[in-house]
Copies of this chain bind each other. A is one copy, B any other.
Amino acid sequence: MSFELLILGCSSATPAHQRNPAAQVLTFCDKTYLIDCGEATQMQMQRYKVKAHRIDHIFISHLHGDHYLGLMGLLSSMHLQGRERELVIYCQKELKEILELQFQVSGTVLRFPLRYRFFTAPTEVLLEDEQVCIKSFDLNHRVPCKGFLFKEQPRPRNLLIEKVREAGVPFDFYPELKAGKDFINSQGEVTPNAALTIDPLPSKSYAYCSDTLYTESLIPIIQGVDLLYHEATFLHDMLDRAIETYHTTCLQAGQIASNAKVKKLVIGHFSARYKDLNPLLQEAKSAFEHVYLAEEGIVYNF
């Protein structure tokens, strides 16, 4: 099963130094999700060989242009390329109005079903199936803004197959053993699950925190994730500006990662004022060791 993050854009509001606005492709339990869709996302997808038809779910954190302006172009291209499968967009409700006005003016009737799933609560499950549970949670920005938490469902327990056979467990019961149940034979004798199975590998998790003021209430939500993407728009010497614009500094992003005991941190959403990003990396590293710069085209495995 593959778990990887491909960065398509790592700039903040103004693209600069050939850095594009926010967009990333998350492969999670072998499925492909697009998170945010800044201008030129479809061109970046072409550049890095991301197949648009593999994406069925798009998550838009908030309605600042650098996080959604690429959506109309991407949807139009999906339409022109003959897409027929449903696409779901998880977003603020105003996005529907913005898109539908443009479809109407351009006389576009999409060939595929486009479904909107609006955010309705501070924290909520957006999508859940046998493999994954995806939640949104509130960030703290100038406009309503969401973070996203991807959690793999608990993996099945691993059978100790010799013990299972010795205990005479019928094949039909294996799924229940894997789900953690004890085995009771026809004589009513109980074999506890712990004698027949061992713990699976831990489930994987990913958290996306786009534009937000430094917010410690996020820590319990993103606690222990395998990979955290957190915005880090400014160096800490610009803390006043970060607070004014509801953004986070690199030092603060490192502190959040450290306090939440995540495994790896990727920082992004860099201000156009920084051409050289190394000082941003070093500042985050001073608070948390396992930090990486979001670089376009780079894949982060976890």
Contact B20 A80 (CB under 8 A): no
Contact A43 B65 (CB under 8 A): no
A220 at the interface (CB under 8 A from B): no
Contact A97 B106 (CB under 8 A): no
A130 at the interface (CB under 8 A from B): no
| Residue from the set A98, A106, A142 with the largest chain B CB neighbour count within 10 Å | A106
Cα-based distance from A107 to B65 in the complex (angstroms): 11
Chain B residues lying within 8 Å of A241, measured Cβ to Cβ, are none
Chain B residues lying within 8 Å of A98, measured Cβ to Cβ, are 98, 101-102, 105
A46 CB contact (under 8 Å) in B16, B47, B65: B16
For A20, the closest partner residue in chain B by CB is: B43
Chain B residues lying within 8 Å of A77, measured Cβ to Cβ, are 13-15
Chain B residues lying within 8 Å of A101, measured Cβ to Cβ, are 97-98, 101
> Contacts A40-B40, A106-B65; is A15 near B76 (CB within 8 Å)?
no
A15 CB contact (under 8 Å) in B14, B46, B72: B46
A13 CB contact (under 8 Å) in B65, B80, B107: B80
For A81, the closest partner residue in chain B by CB is: B14
Contact B15 A42 (CB under 8 A): yes
Q: Which residues 97-124 in A have Cβ within 8 Å of B in the complex?
A: 97-98, 101-102, 105-107
Cα-based distance from A105 to B14 in the complex (angstroms): 18
A219 at the interface (CB under 8 A from B): no
A106 CB contact (under 8 Å) in B21, B80, B107, B143: B143
Cα-based distance from A94 to B142 in the complex (angstroms): 28
A73 at the interface (CB under 8 A from B): yes
Chain B residues lying within 8 Å of A147, measured Cβ to Cβ, are none
A63 at the interface (CB under 8 A from B): yes
Chain B residues lying within 8 Å of A63, measured Cβ to Cβ, are 102, 105-106
A263 at the interface (CB under 8 A from B): no
A69 CB contact (under 8 Å) in B13, B66, B69, B81: B69
Tell me the smallest distance from the CB of A155 to a CB of chain B, in Å. Answer: 40
Tell me the smallest distance from the CB of A226 to a CB of chain B, in Å. Answer: 32
A70 at the interface (CB under 8 A from B): yes
Contact A65 B16 (CB under 8 A): no
For A77, the closest partner residue in chain B by CB is: B14
A76 CB contact (under 8 Å) in B13, B18, B43, B80: B13
Contact B106 A64 (CB under 8 A): yes
Cα-based distance from A16 to B92 in the complex (angstroms): 30
A231 at the interface (CB under 8 A from B): no
Contact B69 A72 (CB under 8 A): yes
Contact A39 B94 (CB under 8 A): no
- Give the interface of A toward B (CB within 8 A): 13-16, 18, 20-21, 39-40, 42-43, 46-47, 63-66, 69-70, 72-73, 76-77, 80-81, 92, 94, 97-98, 101-102, 105-107, 142-143
